[in-house]
Structure 1
Amino acid sequence: MKHLEIQEADSSLTALFDEVTATQSEIVITRNGIPVARIIPCDIKPLYTANYPLRGMPIKIAEDFDEPMPEFWEMLGE
């Protein structure tokens, strides 16, 4: 775990994010020696994979997809 004063972190925030991403370790930001913030690696999955698990998979439609279904209508009583 790395500790930085807030003045050091302010000038190199993008570099700090790159370091956290590369090393998967956390960085603690301090003000006058007192911890005030922590930068940690993020392990959240992208939303499109979480909400759409079948995205990108091939789709196969049956040959009789649009054929009438009389037994279905009989079951419904119509």
Structure 2
Amino acid sequence: MKSLTFCFDHPVAVKVFFSCISDPGLKHDIQFLRSTEDGSLVIPVTDMAGGSWKVMLEWTYEGRDFCMERTFDVVPGAILS
């Protein structure tokens, strides 16, 4: 399964936004996910089209808002995790 993995110092509930850098016309639904109790968060990207993507995570912890942005590539037919 293709996925992105993030590790936090605490459990989080995140709002996940995707945008395709290589094809801005491609859309992907916003996801609402929770990490495990130890702060591990796995985001499946199996159904995403090939290309360069940007993922943005937003969450609140102890009354403060946080945002993280990363880029990644989806290679059709490749097995990544």
Structure number with greater CO (CA < 8 Å, separation at least 6) is 2
Between Structure 1 and Structure 2, the one with more strand by share is 2
**By the TM > 0.5 criterion, same fold?**
no
User: What TM-score comes out, normalization by structure 1 length?
Assistant: 0.25
Q: Whose helix fraction is larger, Structure 1's or Structure 2's?
A: 1
